[in-house]
């Protein structure tokens, strides 16, 4: 079965905007999740997206592409606006209620409304281009009203977007009788069959290019470790994460992590569903390496909400964090912790641009100084890189961390493993950083 999946709008066409949200970003996020679910859980399905990033494509280009490809079904994802609330979907108004397309609509509609927490506005018909000009069966879904505060609050939750994606995927699978993949361990579950507790996903790499993620999957499979690529939208950018299993038991996840590390992937970690929803759980598993989730504006605004005189360092933490593959937003939280929200109430002074207390070993020792704020952030992230991995330091930037070579390389791949290393005694140093980061997440 060939599914043409169309996240509405994109590029120069943002779609509807309200409540701090833009339609084109939400539709892409949901569509990427639908693809991941279908490819992960079901056999006999091939998915092609009209866009996988923030690109412009006309309605004619989309339908021509689907027709030329020979798709079996066209599914267009949209967000509504105009003062209402709830969910509705559409098929072409030239079709009868007994048509095959109408039967597909019945099935998909029923599965979506099971999970989306929205009022049901019904199954409708319209003369939309993507419904009229496609030669295959087609459905367009409107997933809540972006200008309704209650609907918009749901849209901001990753868990809600995942449930909406599951509803669509379940509907397509049921409508086309897609067989489930036989995969006892690891298990990937839909919301209806998932355990009530968190699901521990083993992540074996995060990449900004699909080719790099596919190469990692091929490598793992060559070692006998089944894995697949999961796409995620982070601050408007598409990230490709390699998932090597999902477990209801943390112990089983840790066993798989050890297996992946023995295969040579040293930065594997476990990420629970709760973390994607903005809740920091299982803090012992939070790795230093990983994608930056918060935006530049969110980091800067949080700092200024606690200290209006805070410097705007979010851009440095985001760009340099992405360069080194480090969680720049958590590193930013560490800087807030070290500097007391840039008030510098300890030994380090503001003019030093030392945001991580590098070399400030106590007893009035002010530690290292750096020429510019960017250099200070660079030193901070290089110091984290030394702790997080044994891989060679990338060479686009000069080494400015004066204590890089004093670190036992790879001795602290997680934030809590910095306890007693970055700070002494520092029994709860990493937990304090992650707790502060959780407050940052909750604030946005």
- In this structure, the dihedral spanned by the alpha carbons of residues 302, 306, 311 and 315, taken in order and rounded to 10 degrees, is -10
Nearest to 336 by CA among 304, 361, 372, 288: 304
Q: Tell me how far apart the alpha carbons of residues 107 and 240 are, in angstroms, rounded to a whole number.
A: 30
pLDDT at 182 over 60: no
Residue range 2-175 forms a domain whose CATH class is alpha beta
DSSP 231-286: EEEETTEEEEEEEEEEESSHHHHHHHHHHHHHTT-TT-EEEEHHHHTT----GGG-
Q: Any idea which of 66-80, 199-213, 306-320 has the lowest mean pLDDT?
A: 199-213
Closest CA to 401 of 433, 355, 368: 368
**pLDDT score for 256:** 84
Mean pLDDT of 253-272: 77
Please list the active-site residues: 142
pLDDT band at 72; cut points 50, 70, 90: very high
Whether residue 275 has pLDDT greater than 80:
no
pLDDT at 17 > cutoff 70: yes
pLDDT band at 285 (very low <50, low <70, confident <90, very high): low
In angstroms, the Cα distances linking 364 to 13, 269, 367 are 56, 37, 9
CA distance between the termini of the chain: 40
Residue 282 in tokens? 């299982």
Residue pair 377/277 in contact (Cβ under 8 Å)? The answer is no
The stretch 373-378 carries a mean pLDDT of: 95
Half-sphere exposure (Cβ direction) of 324: Cα atoms closer than 13 Å: 32
The pairing of beta strand 269-272 with beta strand 228-234: unpaired
Q: What percent of the chain has pLDDT over 90?
A: 51
What's domain 200-279's architecture? 2-Layer Sandwich (3.30)
- Tokens for 237? 């950018």
Report the range out of 39-43, 155-159, 398-402 with the highest average pLDDT.
398-402
> Where would I find the H helices in 89-201?
100-115, 129-132, 149-155, 158-175
pLDDT above 70 covers what percent of the chain? Answer: 88
What's the Rg (C-alpha) of the chain?
24
Q: What is the mean pLDDT of the chain?
A: 85
Beta bridge partners of 243: 203, 228
Q: Is the pLDDT of residue 91 over 70?
A: yes
Is the full-model pTM beyond 0.75?
no
Query: Hey, which of 14-18, 158-162, 202-206, 250-254 has the most confident mean pLDDT?
Result: 14-18
pLDDT tier at 362, thresholds 50, 70, 90? confident
pLDDT digits 0-9 by tens, 190-213: 433 333 445 677 888 877 777 777
From the list 373, 328, 371, the residue with the least C-alpha distance to 355 is 373
The whole-angstrom separation of Cα 243 and Cα 39 is 13
* Positive/negative CA dihedral, 126, 128, 130, 134: positive
Domain 296-443 CATH (choose: 3.40.390.10, 1.10.10.10, 3.90.660.10, 1.10.530.10): 1.10.530.10
Domain boundaries, the chain: 2-175, 200-279, 296-443
Structure tokens that stand for 409 in this block: 């390389």
- CA-to-CA distance for 193 and 36, rounded, in angstroms? 17
CA dist., res. 153 & res. 114, Å (int):
19
Cα–Cα nearest to 281, from 198, 224, 346: 198
Q: How many CB atoms lie within 10 A of CB 372?
A: 10
């Amino acid at each position: 079965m060939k599914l043409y999946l169309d996240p509405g709008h994109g590029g120069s066409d943002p779609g509807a905007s309200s409540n701090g949200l833009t339609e084109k970003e939400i539709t892409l996020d949901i569509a990427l999740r639908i693809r991941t679910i279908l490819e992960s859980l079901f056999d006999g399905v091939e998915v092609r997206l009209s866009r996988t990033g923030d690109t412009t494509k006309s309605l004619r280009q989309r339908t021509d592409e689907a027709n030329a490809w020979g798709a079996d079904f066209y599914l267009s994802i949209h967000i509504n606006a105009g003062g209402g609330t709830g969910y509705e979907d559409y098929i072409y108004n030239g079709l009868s209620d007994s048509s095959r397309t109408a039967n597909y609509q019945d099935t998909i509609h029923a599965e979506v409304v099971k999970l989306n927490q929205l009022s049901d506005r019904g199954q409708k018909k319209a003369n939309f281009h993507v419904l009229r000009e496609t030669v295959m069966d087609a459905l367009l879904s409107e997933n809540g009203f972006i200008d309704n505060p209650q609907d918009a609050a749901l849209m901001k939750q990753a868990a809600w977007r995942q449930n909406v994606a599951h509803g669509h995927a379940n509907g397509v699978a049921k409508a086309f009788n897609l067989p489930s993949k036989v995969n006892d361990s690891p298990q990937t579950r839909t919301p209806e069959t998932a355990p009530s507790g968190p699901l521990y996903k083993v992540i074996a790499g995060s990449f900004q290019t699909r080719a790099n993620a596919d190469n990692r999957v091929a490598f793992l499979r060559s070692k006998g470790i089944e894995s697949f690529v999961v796409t995620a939208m982070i601050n408007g950018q598409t990230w490709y994460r390699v998932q090597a299993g999902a477990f209801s038991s943390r112990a089983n996840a840790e066993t798989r992590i050890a297996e992946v590390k023995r295969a040579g992937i040293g930065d594997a970690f476990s990420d629970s569903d709760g973390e994607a929803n903005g809740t920091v759980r299982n803090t012992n598993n939070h790795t230093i390496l990983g994608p930056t989730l918060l935006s530049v504006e969110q980091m800067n605004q949080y700092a200024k909400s606690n200290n209006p005189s805070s410097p705007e360092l979010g851009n440095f933490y985001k760009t340099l964090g992405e360069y080194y593959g480090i969680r720049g937003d958590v590193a930013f939280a560490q800087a807030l912790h070290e500097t007391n929200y840039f008030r510098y109430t300890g030994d380090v002074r503001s003019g030093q641009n030392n945001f991580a207390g590098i070399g400030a070993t106590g007893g009035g020792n002010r530690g290292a100084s750096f020429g510019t704020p960017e250099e200070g952030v660079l030193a901070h992230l290089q110091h984290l890189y030394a702790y997080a991995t044994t891989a060679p330091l990338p060479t686009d930037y000069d080494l400015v961390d004066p204590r890089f070579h004093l670190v036992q390389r790879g001795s602290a791949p997680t934030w809590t493993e910095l306890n007693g290393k970055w700070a002494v005694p520092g029994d709860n140093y990493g937990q304090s950083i992650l707790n502060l980061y959780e407050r940052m997440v909750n604030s946005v």
